[in-house]
Structure 1
Amino acid sequence: MEKAVSKEAISVRYIYSACVITTTPDLSILHDPWFTEGIYDGSWFHFPKIENPLESIGDVDFIYVSHIHPDHYDSDFLKKYFEKYGVKKVLIANHLPNHLAGKMRADGIEPTILTEKLTIGKTTVEIIPQKTGSISDIDSAIIVKYQATNDKKHCVVNANDIIFDEEMRSQLKSVANEVDILLCGYTGAGPYPQTYFDTSNDKLLAEANNKKLAFFERYKTLVKTINAKVNIPFAGKYILGGKLVGLNDFRGVADPVEVLEFDEKAVVLADNGGEIDTDNLNPSRIRKEKYDEREKIKRIQEIQTMRMDYERLIAKEEIEQLPLKRLLFPASRNAVSKSECDENYYFCIRLPNEQVAVINANKNEPKFLTFFDKSAALPTPHSEIIIDPRYLFGLLTNVYHWNNAEVGSQYDTRRVPNSLNRKAQAFLNYLAI
């Protein structure tokens, strides 16, 4: 597909999930293309599936990657894209430490870290990193502006699934000023509540609904602050495959068309080509009805026999040979050295030998690892992690990453009490040698 030639405006063409293309008369930018199946170590799949994304997207000038999560940074697809259309500059945010830049270089992709506005012709591009002061900061937003010859200013903001606090919302509004089109998250794709309760637990569906409503409130707060002419709810579109298919109905993930019920400015662009521009804000190809449940069931049947990455890597017969207890000490020491948690919080992991490893995330506690008998009472507050030993081995040895494991619903958690401690949760990101 040839690159669209823009009129004196910014056009937004939707492909799938967080993937859009913004085009001005000066340049085109591909945002967050994810088209490799089985990301998050084998758990995430597409629905609906885009059959030929390379052709659908066509040639662009730049690629923007908002953050390191694999439904935004898909290195396999980027390499395929480069093979077809040539290597493009990949624009990313200026973080320190820059986890995304390090991962891209390890993958053989050289990023362009945008430290100031990029100006080409009458178009400016600015990436706003989310900075909370944590070493775990990864997210960003992008602002594309175009100054037309009639002095009309056009502006598109892609806020993606960035977690906005009041300061971040204000900063984004201050930089963007008057916004024509806002692309932003409306739902949450994390592990809660589907991996925090048994599927037979009556609380699960209620928690899933509460999560959905909480993300709607976050969406409302953001769109009120930005006050764009049109809001496009997008991103976070996936289904779980393999042995996790039974969790799909409990994720608390909304269909974006549900936003139409409470946001009169919202537009849901159709997959693989729905488009709108800042000139007249008249969308082509929109969606107003939820996806057909029969099609979703059909897709789940296609992916329910897929294996997780670790299931292909290590055979069950080898579990007893994994040196998990030996790996836990250096991994725990590494995590404590980077911990931002300043109170006792315990992660409890049951091992194949029936012991329980208890790790204290408190950065001020010198005794950070103990082993309990399986029948012993666990200290509180705690998160008990229920995980396949093969996957735990991969996480402790940095073959896999804890944050991907969490977002991918790859392990179960039982919290006592059932409340989130963000600093303690971030501790897990560094539980590796």
Structure 2
Amino acid sequence: MELEFIKSATVRVEEGETEVLCDPWLIDGAYYGSWGHYPPVDFDIEEYNDVDYIYVSHIHPDHVHNKTFERFNTDIPILIHDFQFDFLKNNLENMGFDVIELKHNHRTHLGGALHINILAADNCNPDACGSFFGCDWLDDSTDGYGSSQIDTMAVFDNGDTSLVNINDCPYELSQSAARDVIDQYEDIDHLLLPYTGAGPYPQCFENLSIDEKRQEAKVKKQNYYKQAENYINLFEPTYYTPFAGTYVLTGDLADLNEYRGVPTRSEAAEYLRKSSKVDSDEHECVLLNSQTTFNLETGIQTESFTPIDEDWLQKYISTELCDREFPYESTEQPTVDELKQYIPNAYERMEETRQQVGFKSDMDVIIELVGDHCARISMEGEGFEFVPQEIATQSEPYVKFSVDPRLLKQLLQGPRYAHWNNAEIGSHITYDRQPNRFERGLYYCMNFFHA
């Protein structure tokens, strides 16, 4: 079995004459234009049009990137988990692809000796999601069973050799699914290992000073290093490769890069190789350049790894990436009345979700509209009000969302136009959180704040 690293979470698994491309994001501009690659993509995407399958782990655009998929032959079958909700399936079918939904934790033959097994991060246990998100996921829509989480992991095997692709699965949520994999496959030969996480914290939080952002970025790195250590010690692979979540912010957001708390793959490898919690004699770290391969049976890679040149990266950001525009920047600025018209229906939809999942908080959400106009939204079912910003921020606790009004209009129109979670991951939303208290359920509920 061979593993080819391509970009970020995009890899190709080959066994005999059967090839599977995983999570293709190969064109800059994911997350409403803000995510770019470094080093830049310097090959033709069509090189991968002869694969037998494409596996998509979940719906985030650095894993299923529409502009990338537009370059693929639509006769390539797409493998996904049989999710409780059909958002991912519908998105792929709307692009013209045939989608094969695979049952949770079911080993499926693909061709030759190659098999795949896809497991939901929450191991199809809504209670696990409830614990992770801080809300009651066990509602009527799940019938007490079904994957209510969007992330999945996949196991590829040929009967003798196994490769586990964890993708973006959080360790806290995914231990049960991981243990099921270990019970079935025993010895894991190769682990594709998440080593970082994308998100708006700390770079997008105005309540933090520059020094505080730098400190929080260090804490964020350490937390994800700890997750990587936990995964290595849980799976005990012969080899592991840090991957996924490798991106740089572009356009007007480029100045935020240094505060993201996202290490390079080289930094992660150096940390893990030196970690006292990882036995480097038993678990070998393998780093691959783009479009190079590693043979899982022989332990040989096609060429030595070349670390990123940090000086060239900074030059590329300053001369190329920072000048890029986001798609919404070419649209017209909405008026405050245009935005206000969406708020009542958006609140009703969000409130229905909040009640359904059992989330409640005394922390209000303030959304900047246009100029000094704001909407202050209760997370306790007490409605919303339109107030000037000066009044909106007089009483704590609150978290204020600030986003370009052109993107805000799309967010309020609904997921067909833009999605709050993607805007958040793309660093398009600036937050002011008073006090600096994180409540995961609040941000989950806000994903449904659209008309």
The answer to whether residue 80 in structure 2 is matched with residue 80 in structure 1 is: no
| 1:368 paired to 2:383 | yes
* Counterpart contact for 2:367–2:400, Cα < 8 Å: yes
Taking a change above 3 Å as real, the CA distance of residues 198 and 242 of structure 1, as seen in their structure-2 partners, is: farther
Per the alignment, residue 160 of structure 1 pairs with: 167
Quote the Cα distance in structure 2 between the aligned partners of 1:49 and 1:383: 36
Deviation at 1:69, TM superposition (A): 0.8
The answer to whether the Cα contact below 8 Å between 2:336 and 2:369 also exists between their aligned partners in 1 is no
Match of 1:61 in 2: 52
- What CA distance in whole angstroms lies between the structure 2 residues aligned with 1:199 and 1:271? 36
1:35 equivalent among 26, 30, 38: 26
Alpha carbons 2:336, 2:370 under 8 Å: kept? no
The CA distance in 1 between the partners of 2:184 and 2:83, in whole Å, is 18
Q: Aligned residue for 2:102?
A: 114
Distance (whole Å) between structure 1 residues aligned to residue 161 and residue 32 of structure 2: 40
**Secondary structure in 2 aligned to 1:357?**
strand
What do residues 218-243 of structure 1 show as CA deviations (whole Å, max 9, x unaligned)? 11001110000001000111111111
Contact 2:339 2:409 (8 Å CA) reproduced:
yes
**Partner of residue 334, structure 1:** 349
- Match of 2:399? 383
Is the partner of 1:42 in helix, strand or coil?
coil
Cα gap change, 1:299 to 1:373, in 2 (>3 Å):
closer
Cα distance in 2 for partners of 1:259, 1:88 equals 34
Q: Residues 110 and 431 (structure 1 numbering): CA distance in 2 closer, same or farther, change over 3 Å?
A: farther
1:269 and 2:269 matched = no
Distance in 2 (CA, whole Å) between partners of 1:370 and 1:206 is: 36
Structure 1 letter corresponding to 2:94: A
Q: Which amino acid aligns with 2:58?
A: H
Please tell me the residue identity of whatever aligns with 1:12.
Answer: L
Matches of residues 29-428 of structure 1 in structure 2 within 5 Å?
29-54=20-45, 56-57=47-48, 59-82=50-73, 87-115=75-103, 116-119=106-109, 120-131=111-122, 133=126, 134=129, 137-147=149-159, 153-165=160-172, 166-197=175-206, 201-261=210-270, 262-263=272-273, 264=280, 265-287=283-305, 289-314=307-332, 318-320=333-335, 323-339=338-354, 340=357, 341-352=359-370, 354-362=372-380, 365=381, 367-376=382-391, 377-398=393-414, 399-428=417-446
Instruction: Tell me if structure 2 keeps the 8 A contact 1:257–1:268.
Output: no
Change in Cα spacing, 1:266 to 1:369, as seen in structure 2 (3 Å) is: farther
Superposed CA RMSD in Å reads 2.1
What SS does the aligned partner of 2:69 have?
Answer: helix
Q: TM-score of the superposition, structure 2-length normalised?
A: 0.85
Once residues 327 and 274 of structure 1 are traced to their aligned partners in structure 2, the CA distance between those partners, rounded to angstroms, is: 49
Cα distance in 2 between the residues matched to 1:300 and 1:106: 37
The 3-state SS of whatever aligns with 1:59 is coil
* Residues 242 and 199 (structure 1), Cα distance of their counterparts in 2 relative to 1, 3 Å cut: farther
Match of 1:18 in 2: 9
> Alpha-carbon deviations, 1:271-304, whole Å to 9, x = none?
3222112212222323263433224422442121
Q: Separation in 2 of the partners of 1:69 and 1:219?
A: 21
Residues 187 and 216 in structure 1, CA contact (< 8 A), matched pair in contact too:
yes
8 A Cα contact 1:346 1:379, kept in partner: no
Offset at 1:154? 0.6
1:172-205 Cα distance to aligned partner (Å, 9 max, x none): 3234421100001101121111001378622111
* 1:59 partner amino acid: D
Return the offset for 1:55. 5.2
5+ long unaligned stretches in structure 1: 1-9, 148-152
- Once the two structures are TM-superposed, the CA of residue 23 in structure 1 deviates from its matched residue by 0.8
TM-aligned CA deviation for residue 72 of structure 1? 0.5
Q: What letter is aligned with 1:109?
A: F
Name the aligned partner's letter for residue 359 of structure 1.
I
C-alpha distance in 2 between matches for 1:335 and 1:311:
27
Aligned length: 410
* Pairwise CA distance, 1:163: 1.2
CA contact (8 A) 1:267 1:286 kept: no
Q: Is the contact between residue 127 and residue 140 of structure 1 (CA under 8 Å) also seen in structure 2? A: yes
Once structures 1 and 2 are overlaid, which stretch shifts more, 294-303 or 136-145? 294-303
Supply the AA of the counterpart residue of 1:216: Y
Equivalent-residue separation in structure 2 for 1:288 and 1:27 (angstroms):
29
